[in-house]
Every structure is written in C-alpha cells, then in structure tokens.
Structure 1
Amino acid sequence: MNHKQWALLGTLGFALITSAAQAATTLITNVKGYTLDDKGSLLQFQQALIADGKIAALDPRSVPRDAIKVDGKQQVMLPGLIDAHGHLLMLGASLLQVDVRDSASAAAAAQRVAAYAATHPQQPWLTGSGWNQELWADRQFPTAKMLDQAMRERPVVLSRVDGHAVWLNSKALTATGIDRNTPNPAGGQIVRDAAGNATGVLVDNAMELVNQVMPKDGPKQFQLMLDAAAPHLLSLGITAMQDAGIGHDVYDFYLARAVAKQLPLRIYAMVAATDPDLPKLLANGPIYSADDSLVIRSVKVFADGALGSRGAAMLAPYHDAPHQQGLMVTEPEQFKPLFNQIIGAGFQLNIHAIGDRANHLALQQFADTFATIGGRELRNRVEHAQVIAPDDLAKFAQLGILPSMQPTHATSDMNMAEARLGKARMVGAYAWHTLLQSGVHMPLGSDFPVELANPFYGLHAAVTRQDRNNQPLNGWYPEQKMTRLQAFKGFTEDAAYGAHMEHKIGSLTPGKWADFILVDQDIFTVPESDIWKTQVLSTWIAGERVYQKN
C-alpha cells in the first residue's frame, strides 16, 4: 500500500462486525458480572447496556424501549480476555499439522508423523510441533535417524515445544546442504555427534538453514491458518491477542483482511526486527484501524533463545551444562543501533529475553537509549523476562519497562528450570510477585502455540504455581504466586495497557468496546485448583456474539 492508502485506512477504518449489529442497543441482563473499574478495583454488576458496539452503562437506571434484551441466565460475565503474547498464524499452522506435543519418547513422536503422513499423501513437506525431550526418559535431543524410521521419502521438520529448535529427518537435513564443514551461524547451533556430523537438530538461528529451503507460505495459506486459529481462540474467551513477531508478508495479509472486514478478533501486531523491510515498515508509521481491530505500532526483537534448549543467554554457565552459557540471537553490539532505530521511529520495542544475561543487556540498553533519545513513554516491554539477576529486578519499574510474562511457562518449566539454573538463581526466576510489588504493569499471555492457548490455564498457573494435577502440593516457589485479582488484571487491563489500548479494551467500563465472555463458573469464588476448568459459554466482540458453545 502507498501512503495515500495508509491515510485512507486510518480515516475510514474498517468494521469487525456489521454496521447493523453495531447500531443496535442491547441489554445483557441477569448476569453475575465482574470487571475492573478505572482505579483497578473489582466491580460487580448485573446488567450491561451496549450501544454502537460499546458499553453504554453498567446497571443502567433507564433502558431504551427498543433495546434488545439478552437473558444471561445468571452466567458469569467477564471482559474478553487478552493474550499479551502469542503467535496467531503459527497457532493456525500447528492446528493444520502433526501435533507431537506430550509424546512420551522420540519414537512415539515419530510414529505420530508416520500416522499423519499416511493421511496426507500429497503434502511434500511434513511439518509439526510440540516435541520436548525433557518429557522423555533419556532427556536427550532426538536424531534424524529416529525420524527416518517413520519417514524417509519426504522431508520432515518438527519444531520443539518452545519454537527454539527443530528436529529434521535425513531428507530434510540433506535439503539444507549442511555438512561437517558448515559453521554454526551467529546465535545458532547445529547439534553434532562426537564425529562432528549434524544429528538432525538445529537450535535458534541455525533453524534458518532449513527455513530457506522449505516452501514459502502465501496469502492462501495464511488464510487457512487464520481460519483455524481464530475460532479456537474465540472458543477460549480470547477476544484480542498480541502477535509477537510478524514479517512484511503477514503485515500485508493483516491489512488486506482488515480492509476486507475479515479480521475475526482484535490483533496488536509486533513487526519482526529481523524482517529486511523493517526500515520501510517503520517509515510507514503506526497503523490503527478506526474500530481497533488492528494496531501495528511495535517491533519484536530477539535477544536470546529458550531455557529448555539451553539457548537462554546466562551470566554464568548452566548448572547442568558447565560448558554452555546460551546464545545471543542478536549480538550485543547490535543492540544500540537497533534500539535507537525502533524507538527513534516512535515504535514500542518488545524484546524477547529469557536468560539473566539477555535481560541484563536489554535493561542496560533501554537505559542508554532513554538517556540519549528518550522513548520511555512507549511502554517498551521484555517478553518472557523469565530469569533475572536479583539486582536487575527493580530496574523494570525504574525504567518503566513492562515484563510481559506467561504463567504456564513456569508450570511447564518447573521440571527442569532448577536443574538448568541451580538453586541460587531461582531467586530471580519467574519472579511475578517481586515484579508486581515493585509497581509494574504485567501483561500476561500464553505464548501459544508453545503453550496451550487457554487463558484459564494461565490464570490457574498464576494463582497456584501448580500444574493441572495440583502439583507440587503448595505450589512451585509459592512466594511468587499472584492473587486472583492480579492475574485477572494481567489478562485484561494490564494486557491492554501493554498495547496502549487501556482506554479501548480490557474492562467493561462505559465507552470501551463491548468485548466480553460468559462463563460457567465464578473464577473469584471457586477453589483455586478449579480455575482451569472454566468453560466459555459465549464470546462477544463489539456487542456481537462470535462464539456460542454447543
């Protein structure tokens, strides 16, 4: 699109729902409603009046005669939940490919590939995701030979559960051209055997070696992914999500879908800093739709890898691998020009940082950039903020940096985090309570499809620090638990704040969009152990029902 088209988009906007639906006045009555008020306190209500797609009043004193009345049947009404860190089309792709999540062994994962291949004979490349060697008895990375036993004829590429490593069969490995002399790319690792041969696992930036030879997705495939992902999210009560890293092709796809009035939920998209067209996209300036269904005003930067694959960059070696300290996906000397470029263009900078070294360097560069060119008001974020040196914890509040965190990461990682880090470093790991006590806003999400997208799983993990089997007994490092109110705020108002949208969405106060859900139980009164069992009965965006449970 040219600049005139950007202006047209900003002037005319585009509708998420039909104009007739927006024009209707609706009274949702007979509900047990909860929202946060403008001061962050929990507010209860029994009725909500909706006009032009927005909340007109809670428990109104008068109702227009022509208002459409909807009986809530004493169901619990909540603001639509916001996932502050997910990957929308990646979720759609995962729903369209082989799922090896929770496989008990490499052999079991390979068998799932074989079963999938048998029902998809025309698919030239077989892709999937979800393997996690930490769930296997030997806890060892898998090999190409293990996949070959299930599929030799077609290339197979399986992403690790955290998205920071891929497992290839020999056909895919051959396609990459990797041999004994292929060097590790900066910020990446080709896993090798004792003889120096590639085993079939590529970590972090090394994944690009296979990405370069795989067939490229285009608008048709993107639409299939969106069509798969959006109904899934709406059924879970997610009315808005923040897409953590999109390329120019997806940027254009979202804009096209927006103009065609075909965005099924609200998207706050972060441009990938690695996209070669980043300067052009920054020059376009922030993108807003008039109805707030699409906003693009931030950039996603990768500092390091993930803890499970030992790619998280650490200040000291890994406790269980003394010869490793992780990977800087973006080299430290690139931080200053990159931060100054993005923040200088008026875009929010959201940096993936998991290890304590990555977090330390990110906070250090934020401070330097703020001192030289400003930009603190952009509400810049650290995505994940999983392991933080104790001396750096207070710097988030001091610098106005938002730790954007995913509660289910803690309950997924608790089987290996202490082994990776050692007891001493756990003080600053998944430190939700400590960070919240410092006064920061903490947007919460899931990092789907790395974790399951269900936000009630996230609420449960935040409050209990337990898995859904209620283990460990009192919670994992229970001193870092959130209260129910804090967790609810993280998936509503704090998530909206992290997207500069707290005046538009995140609560059901008058003037905001009528994005809400009706659920089957009261998350504020049920036993904490049961929060994850919450079922969404219906989901509404701008006053229109977009999902109804059968």
Structure 2
Amino acid sequence: MTNPSTLYRGGMLHCPADPSATALLVRDGRIAWLGVDADAPSADRVVDLAGSLVTPAFVDAHVHATDTGLALSGLDLSGVRSAGELLDAVSAFASGLPGDAVVLGHGWDESYWAQRSLPDAAALDRAAEGRRVYLSQASVHSALVSQAMLAACPDAAAAPGYDPSGWLRRDAHHVVREVALASVNRVQRAAVQRAALRRAASLGIAAVHECGGPGTSDESDFAGLLAMSGDGVPEVYGYWGELLGAAKARELGAVGAGGDLYADGALGSRTAHVSAAYLDGEPGACGHGYVTAEQVRDHLLDCAAHGMQGGFHAIGDAAISTVLDGFAGAAEKLGVDGLRAARHRVEHAEIMNRRLIAGFVEYGIVASMQPAFDRLWGGAGRMYEARLGLSRSLESNPMGAMHSVGVALAFGSDSPVTPLDPWGSVRAAVAHHSPAQRMSVRAAFAAHTRGGWRAVHLDNEGVLALGAPATFAVWSTPAGAQRGLPVLEAEDPELRGVDDPTPLPVCRATVLRGDVIYEEGSA
C-alpha cells in the first residue's frame, strides 16, 4: 500500500529541465510528477504554494551541531566590540547560573575591536564570580578561559599553545575544550543538537555534514547526533577526523574519515600554516602544521583499505601543500584514478594559489568551502588583511577560480564559526570581495545544494526531477525571482556587495524525502 500523495501547486519551480513547471506531485518520498497546474494529477492532499518559489533544499557541508546548539541557547559573544563588553556579557550571563556551573560562550572576534587587548584569566574569574569560564573565539581554534578553568585542567599547562593569561591555542586549547564540553550532560547535549538541526531545517537545509573527531567532539556526542539523522530533522552525514581512523569512522557510522582532521589551525588564531609570516603576529611566525606528508599519505591509504572517503582540515597554503604532497605519495600506491574515485575532501582551503588549485583538479578533491568567511573577514580593513596583507587577502577563498577550472565545490557554514545562513552564503560567493573570485547565483546555489550531496557520493540528489527524492524547500522571495532562483542583488550596482540590502528569501517549508521537517508557523 502506498503512502498518501501530496500535490504542491501554484508555485515557481527551480526545474531547469522544465522551466514552465508550477506543480509537483510527491508519492512515497519521490517526485512522481512535474508540470503545470492545469495538467496536475489528483492527489490525496493538495498544498497551495501561492506563488512561492520551490528549489532543491540546501546541504550545509560543514557544521558542528553541538556547538551550534550551545551558541543558539547560550552566551553569544559575536556582537561584543571590546574586552569590557565581553566581561559585562560574561557577568550578566553568569549571574543566573549555579555557583558550580561552567560559563560556555562563543563568537568573540578581536579583529573587529578598536582596542584589541583581551581580558585575562583573572578578569574572567571576577566577571563570573569564580565560576569556570570557556569562551571560544569565532574560529573555535582558541579560547579565553578563567583561572578556575585553568585550575580544573592541570594538563593544559604542559601542552603547546598554553598561556597563563588564559588565551589558549593548539593542544592546550583542545585539553581545556574537552573538559569544558564535558560539563554538558547527555540530555542537554541531545537537546542542543536537536535545536541546531531544527534551526537548519527552518532555513531550508535538509542535510548537514557533521565534522567531529578528537579535539572537536567526543565519540558519544558524534554517535548521538548521527542517531537523530532524518528523525523529523535534516539528515546528518558524519565525518570523523582522526588520523589513521578509517576503521573507527566506519564503526561510528561516519561516511568519511576526514572533516576536522587538522592539517593546521585557523587564521583567526594565527595557527593556520601559511608560507609567508603573519604581518600582525610574532616575527617570522607562520602558524603550525599538524601533519606530515607521510601521515597524509598513510591516512589516505588507510581510507582506501577500509573503503572510506578521507579528508583534512587545511586552511593555509603551507598546510594545503603538505596535504597535496601526501596525495602524491598515495597516488604512487593507488593511482590517480583511485584517489579521484574516492572524492576525498579538504575543508576550508582558504589560502590557495594556482599550483594548489591544480592539485585539487588532478586528484579530484572536493573543496568544502565557506563563502561567509570572505564576507566577514575578507576585503580592506578586515582580519585577512591584518593577518596577510591586502593582496594576499584578496586571493583568499578562491571559489570562483576553483569553480572555473572544475574543482568540485560543496558550500557550508562551519557553524557556529559563521551562522547557518544558506542564501547569505550564496550571496557571499556572488559578491566576493575580489571580483575575480565571484560566482554566478546559479553556480553558487548548485555548490550549496547538489554539491553537498555529491560530496557524500549521492549524485542523484539535489534536483527537482521526475523520480528524484522529494527533498526541497519552499520560499517567499521578497525581492522577486528570475529563472527559478531568487533575486539576491540590488538593481543598483552601487548597492551590491557584502552589505547588499536586498532582502533574502524566507523559508516557508522544508521537505525531506517527502516528509515535512519544517513548516512556517509550526512549533
């Protein structure tokens, strides 16, 4: 017996194969018919789209659900603009907590502050009245912590990246982060994870790629999230980032042994491994590389032995170069075609050059990128320029150049590093600070939809087509739509760019394989 069918009619469909289509029929989780209203078949249920736009739903190709949920429900520091504002926010938040609670906050970014001095551990102790405090920087690769938190993590003092001031990076940050997140019990963790997934669904996102692993999330956190996949929320495809951990990744239910397998750190924390020294750091400092080419090679061979997709977090050009040297070593054993078939990934790929882009093309590497990084930190006067200089900053996040030569792109947010905001990410790719790196709306949308499915080897997903999974989103488009996609840029060229005032689409419903996982106005 078939499930009840639903006819969605009276809309505008993003359906390049049938641009005139205004309706679709969903039966048994698939699109059973597409066409114009007048030709629509009968159905058990009819939904009037009232002129709304229907597109394939988004895929966010890089998220951290637990951290996202904690940021949604906890102390959001993204708006603070000074050390004093940060301390005031901590004090206000901590005042409502039990004395033994841990203050968890996220999102401070000193690159936006006029005075970039940071509060020390003692000041955080005073603000939180002695409570343990863990405040992750926007990149989530460093954190400010209180004296009470340092006292609870004695092993951190011997780890690279430790600073008694309370600004921790590298291994010391990972030690303290593990202790801080352990203060969130299983029930709380499940609640914030589900809150993050529901938030994604409300934005037209039907699938996310969760990037976990040692130093990022523990095994129970990762497995618990995967168990929620598709249960009234978006599907979750997990990547477990542990070196030589393909067997562990498979055991945990991951689709790949990669994601946040760190080849380096982050630009915000000056730990991304770059070939030329940071302009605003210690003299000669180029960040840190966490793996060797031989380790990259052996990890890829381990992935091949277990039939798993692999990948690495690599931001700086020196780290990406190391990763590609490892690919070359693996190719000697597996052949280039063998590597290409696996669709291994590199997360972020922020600082690139032509040689590195050519390596992505040669080995068929999927570039999992975050357009919002350029929107927030690219261009004159922002963090990339401070760290790298203007000319190098304008070469960052070269998604346009990569797309133009055939690199497979999968867009995401790295939430909570940047918010879940798929149309905002599409517009960020269209309005890149460097004109040479800009993409069309159609190409950027494809990277954020079909690109995410292809990155997990689901090549038939992400389209509105007869027989395809009925996974789509319904949008109101206050700025209008053209050729099956919303208008994202102002008509006046002077208003276009990262601060374009054109209103973005608003999600009315998200459908995953025929099931409604979000509906506007529902609880």
**TM-score of the superposition, structure 2-length normalised?**
0.88
Q: Percent identity?
A: 28
Q: Give the match for residue 395 of structure 1.
A: 359
Structure 1 residues 56-78: Cα deviation after superposition (integer angstroms, max 9, x where no partner)? 12117965544322111011111
Match of 2:220 in 1: 249
Q: Which residue of 1 aligns with 2:264?
A: 304
Task: Specify which of 202, 207, 210 is matched with residue 168 of structure 2.
Answer: 202
1:377-399, Cα deviation, whole Å (9 max, x unpaired): 11111110000133222221121
- Would the alpha carbon gap of residues 439 and 125 (structure 1) be closer, same or farther in structure 2, given more than 3 Å must change? same
Does residue 1:512 correspond to 2:468, yes or no?
yes
Partners of 1:43 and 1:345 in 2: how far apart?
43
Quote how far apart the aligned CAs of 1:376 are: 2.3
* One-letter identity of the residue aligned with 1:309: S
Q: Which amino acid aligns with 1:237?
A: G
Say how many residue pairs are matched: 492
Shift of 1:159: 0.5
Matched position secondary structure for 1:119: coil
Task: Describe the superposition over 1:501-544 as per-residue Cα deviations: whole angstroms up to 9, x where unpaired.
Answer: 121x2111122221111111124435353565221122222223
Q: Which moved more, 1:83-92 or 1:134-143?
A: 134-143
| Unaligned residue ranges in structure 1 (runs of 5+) | 1-19, 192-197, 288-294, 466-475
Distance 1:279 1:387, change over 3 A: closer
Separation in 2, partners of 1:343, 1:228: 35
CA contact (8 A) 1:98 1:129 kept: yes
CA distance in 2, matches of 1:534, 1:411: 18
The runs of 5 or more residues in structure 2 that have no matched partner are: 491-499
Aligned pairs for 1:307-346 (under 5 A) are 307-321=267-281, 322-346=283-307
Q: Would you say the 8 A contact 1:125–1:156 is kept in 2?
A: yes
Q: 2: distance between equivalents of 1:141 and 1:76?
A: 46
Select 2:348's aligned residue among 350, 362, 384.
384
- Supply the distance in 1 between the matched residues of 2:40 and 2:405 (Cα, whole angstroms): 43
CA distance in 2 between counterparts of 1:211 and 1:309 reads 15
Q: 1:212 and 1:227, CA in 2 relative to 1: closer, same or farther beyond 3 A?
A: closer
Measured after TM superposition, the shift of residue 477 of structure 1 is 1.4
Distance (whole Å) between structure 2 residues aligned to residue 331 and residue 365 of structure 1:
8
Give 3-state SS (helix, strand or coil) of 1:458's partner. helix
Q: Give the corresponding residue for 1:5.
A: none
Distance 1:255 1:83, change over 3 A: closer
2:339 pairs, out of 375, 379, 397, with 375
**Which letter does structure 2 place at the counterpart of 1:334?**
Q
Tell me the SS of whatever aligns to 1:540.
Answer: strand
The offset of 1:122, in angstroms, is: 6.0
Establish whether residue 456 from structure 1 lines up as the match of residue 423 from structure 2. yes
Aligned to 1:10: none
CA distance in 1, matches of 2:129, 2:302: 46
Q: Which residue of 1 aligns with 2:124?
A: 147
User: Residue 160 of structure 1 aligns to which amino acid in structure 2?
Assistant: Q
For residues 124 and 273 of structure 1, the distance between their equivalents in structure 2, rounded to whole angstroms, comes to 30
Provide the residue aligned with 1:541 in structure 2: 512
The more displaced of 426-435 and 123-132 is 426-435
State whether residues 344 and 375 of structure 1, in contact with CA within 8 Å, keep that contact through their aligned partners in structure 2. no
Q: Which residue of 2 aligns with 1:195?
A: none
Alpha-carbon distance in structure 1 between the residues aligned to 2:90 and 2:209: 31
CA distance in 2, matches of 1:95, 1:525: 28
The alignment partner of 2:446 has SS state of helix
Match of 2:457 in 1: 500
| Partner in structure 2 of residue 46 of structure 1 | 22
Matched, 1:272 2:234: no
Residues of 1 paired with 2:362 and 2:503: CA distance?
34
Provide the C-alpha distance between the structure 2 equivalents of 1:123 and 1:455, rounded to a whole number of angstroms: 38
Could you state the TM-score of these two structures normalised by the residue count of structure 1? 0.83
Task: Assess if the C-alpha contact under 8 Å between 1:83 and 1:242 holds in 2.
Answer: yes
In the other structure, the counterpart of 1:439 is 406
The residue type equivalent to 1:534 in the other structure is: P
CA contact (8 A) 1:457 1:532 kept: no
RMSD: 2.5
Task: For 1:55 and 1:132, locate their aligned partners in 2 and report how far apart those are by CA, in whole Å.
Answer: 45
| 1:546 partner amino acid | I
SS in 2 for 1:533: coil
- 1:218 CA displacement: 5.1
Contact 1:385 1:403 in 2 (8 A): yes
Instruction: Find 2:448's aligned residue among 491, 494, 505.
Output: 491
Deviation at 1:174, TM superposition (A): 2.0
The CA distance in 2 between the partners of 1:526 and 1:257, in whole Å, is 33
1:471 maps to which residue?
none
